[in-house]
């Protein structure tokens, strides 16, 4: 692997932007404020921001590559390769593919979850982003418990989220447009879907014990856990008691405050910030950030969102850019237990972005270094190859 030098950019070091050069060797940052070596690939970062790569704990936009239209499927390896290109070009160097394994057939079925996990494991060496498996377990999917437990014990799951969308599913049954979309996703007839929901609901009393068993296995395997859409402080307390230390999209401020008081990581969606509010009408993420009730932003359903959100927060005066960037880099890395990234520091993994911020609210990714490899370059004029002087030329002098 060639050494790389990023020369002359405004680098985010801690919480300050400093004019500095970074040297990269063997996939890690080997020096800060260094003199470029004579055998390095050099990137000219003048007038650019140099930032740590984005760590995305929850992104499911890859589902659109798998099923771009209802009933239209594409091979999972094709979908993953395309999603990798999208993630990298938007500055995401560590991506957790949030894969839902539900009780319903179709896109979020067990078969799809298995195929996606196997594809991630086999394709991982070919992908530029560090690609990890975030399993979103629908808690009413009791038949999956044993297999998920085995995956956890075998170290195949990187994050485990407990999801419960049963109440919203039942509520949507009486809304024709949303019901149709939901049923079409499963490939079932309307009558068959109603029957499936009724059968799943009949086992509601078994759900809490199933959650407890899986949480215990995850704790033993040292897999970080999330609870999704916590609806009350009591719900958050109950999950925390089982070692679930990440509150993902708490639906009201009281629940977010409980999470903060308990020292939990609190995740909201970056699209919420970019759009100025939730598309569901729930909590406004920028308000939560201003109140100290959000520690992590995730791409959710739109890969460009984390980058745009950080600059939106800075432009709106919610946070300085250096602190806004922590929400998409340092903090998610910490929440996921990844101590080797999220900072521009010697010895850290060389996940680095070069960003042109000349146009307000429209940051442009110029280059992406992922684990020390040049993964994306939008401006070849920034590239210069440096070579050591030839020995015979030196001797001739």
CATH no. for 3-52+344-391: 2.30.40.10
How far is Cα 336 from Cα 267, in angstroms, rounded to an integer?
Answer: 12
- Report d(CA 327, CA 206) in Å as an integer: 36
Per-residue pLDDT band for 38 (boundaries 50, 70, 90) equals low
Query: Is the distance from CB of 224 to CB of 245 less than 8 angstroms?
Result: yes
Confidence label for 34 from pLDDT (cuts 50, 70 and 90): low
Q: How many CB atoms lie within 10 A of CB 100?
A: 22
pLDDT band at 247 (very low <50, low <70, confident <90, very high): very high
Query: How is the chain split into domains, by residue range?
Result: 3-52+344-391, 54-335
Write the class of the CATH domain 54-335: alpha beta
Averaged confidence pLDDT in the chain: 91
Which one, of 320, 322, 321, 259, lies nearest residue 295 by Cα?
259
pLDDT average, residue stretch 170-199: 80
pLDDT band of 390, cuts 50, 70, 90: very low
Is this model's pTM higher than 0.75 or not? yes
For tokens 């399993």, name the residue: 135
Confidence of residue 299 (pLDDT cuts 50, 70, 90): very high
Question: What is the widest separation between alpha-carbon atoms in the chain?
Answer: 88
Least Cα distance to 309 among 337, 328, 283 occurs for: 328
Give the span between the Cα atoms of 225 and 240, in whole angstroms: 10
pLDDT, position 250: 95
**Model confidence over 310-362: pLDDT tens digits?**
999 999 999 999 999 999 999 999 999 999 999 999 999 999 999 999 999 99
**Mean pLDDT on 301-305:** 96
Complete DSSP assignment for 258-274: HHHHTT-EEEEEHHHHH
């Amino acid at each position: 692997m060639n050494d790389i030098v990023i020369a002359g950019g405004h680098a985010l070091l801690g919480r300050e932007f400093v004019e500095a050069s970074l040297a990269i060797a063997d996939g890690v940052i080997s020096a800060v404020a260094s003199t470029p070596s004579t055998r390095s690939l050099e990137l000219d970062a003048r007038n650019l921001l140099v930032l740590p790569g984005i760590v995305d704990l929850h992104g499911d936009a890859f589902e659109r590559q798998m099923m771009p239209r209802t009933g239209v499927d594409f091979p999972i390896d094709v979908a993953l390769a395309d999603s990798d290109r999208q993630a990298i070009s938007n500055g995401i160097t560590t991506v957790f593919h949030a894969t839902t394994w539900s009780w319903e057939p179709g896109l979020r079925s067990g078969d799809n979850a298995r195929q996606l996990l196997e594809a991630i494991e086999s394709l991982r060496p070919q992908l530029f982003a560090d690609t990890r498996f975030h399993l979103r377990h629908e808690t009413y999917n009791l038949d999956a418990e044993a297999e998920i437990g085995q995956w956890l014990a075998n170290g195949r799951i990187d994050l485990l989220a407990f999801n419960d969308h049963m109440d919203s599913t039942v509520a949507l049954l009486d809304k024709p447009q949303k019901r149709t979309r939901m049923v079409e996703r499963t490939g079932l007839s309307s009558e068959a879907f109603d029957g499936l929901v009724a059968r799943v609901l009949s086992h509601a009393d078994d759900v809490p014990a199933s959650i407890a068993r899986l949480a215990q296995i995850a704790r033993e395997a040292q897999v970080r856990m999330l609870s999704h859409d916590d609806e009350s402080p009591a719900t958050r307390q109950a999950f925390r008691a089982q070692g679930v230390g990440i509150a993902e999209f708490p639906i009201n401020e009281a629940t977010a405050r409980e999470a903060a008081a308990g020292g939990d990581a609190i995740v909201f969606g970056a699209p919420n910030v970019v759009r100025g509010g939730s598309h569901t009408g729930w909590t406004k993420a920028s308000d939560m950030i201003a109140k100290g009730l959000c520690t992590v932003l995730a791409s959710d359903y739109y890969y460009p969102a984390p980058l745009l959100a950080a600059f939106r927060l800075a432009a709106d005066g919610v946070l300085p850019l250096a602190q806004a960037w922590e929400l998409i880099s340092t903090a998610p890395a910490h929440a996921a237990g990844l101590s080797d990234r999220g900072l521009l520091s010697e010895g850290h993994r060389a996940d680095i972005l070069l960003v042109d911020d000349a146009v307000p609210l429209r940051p442009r990714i110029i280059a992406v270094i992922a684990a020390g490899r040049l993964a994306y370059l939008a401006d070849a004029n920034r590239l210069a190859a440096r070579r050591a002087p030839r020995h015979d030329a030196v001797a001739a002098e």
